[in-house]
Amino acid sequence: MDGTAGGGRTVREQDRRITEVVDRERSRLRNFIRRRVPDPLDTEDILQDVFFELVEANRLLVPIEHVTGWLFRVARNRITDLFRRRKPERFGDATDEDDALVALEELLPSPDAGPEALHARGVLLDELTLAIDELPGEQREVFVAHELEGKSFREIAAATGVNLNTLLARKRYAVLRLRARLRGMYEELEKG
């Protein structure tokens, strides 16, 4: 066995090619999305979704003839999806926003707003800590490194030896798990 995938390309070569596409198109694609989406957190989440779709298409051996055009088409579709599901914002809707966890400080009650707000803030932070601790190890590592420590995916890949595509997928799954886990907490706080 020579470790080749369909079409005679090695898995390593496919990973390298996807990494090259991500590196080459990241800035243009981010700018394209940013011009259409006012929230920087939504912009980053859509960008991540687009590259996740590329990784998944590669994994499923979906033929993509013009990768740049395909990436921009997926980005347009994700932008459309975002605006379709957008509702008037309330505190409890924050978990419906992509990467709401990044903006957690904005959602938390101010520590200066009195004892009830301070208690709610502590409960939310405890719940977030528990939710992160419950993530599978590989997802937790990439989430903490990227979101809490501010490392780029390239830095994480260099430090861990894990390819960029795998890191993107792990981060995406971590965000989905955290969002699902914390949704109930936000709903309870909104009721109370």
The structure tokens listed for 56 are 């998944």
**Is 175 or 123 the better-scoring residue by pLDDT?**
175
Band (14; pLDDT cuts 50, 70, 90): confident
pLDDT in the model for residue 112: 60
pLDDT in the model for residue 138: 92
pLDDT in the model for residue 161: 92
Residues 96 and 184 occupy one common structural domain: yes
Tell me the C-alpha distance between 67 and 57, whole Å: 11
Tell me the C-alpha distance between 160 and 184, whole Å: 33
Tell me the C-alpha distance between 117 and 164, whole Å: 40
**Is 109 or 28 the better-scoring residue by pLDDT?**
28
- 190 membership: H or E segment, kind and range: helix 164-191
Band (2; pLDDT cuts 50, 70, 90): very low
Residues 78 and 94 occupy one common structural domain: no
What CATH number does residue 159 fall under? 1.10.10.10
Tell me the C-alpha distance between 146 and 148, whole Å: 6
The domain boundary residue, chosen from 36, 62, 86: 86
Residues 7 and 41 occupy one common structural domain: yes
- Counting the structural domains of the chain, the total is 2
Residues 97 and 81 occupy one common structural domain: no
Mean pLDDT of 100-127: 60
Tell me the C-alpha distance between 61 and 59, whole Å: 5
The domain boundary residue, chosen from 86, 117, 143: 86
pLDDT tens, position by position, 54-67: 888 887 887 787 88
The structure tokens listed for 69 are 């055009």
What is the extent of the structural domain holding 175?
A: 90-192
Residues 45 and 72 occupy one common structural domain: yes
Residues 123 and 38 occupy one common structural domain: no
pTM above 0.85, yes or no: no
Average pLDDT, the chain: 75
**108 neighbors 124 (Cβ within 8 angstroms):** yes
Q: How far is CA 38 from CA 32, 41, 43, 91, in A?
A: 12, 9, 8, 19
**Is 118 or 158 the better-scoring residue by pLDDT?**
158
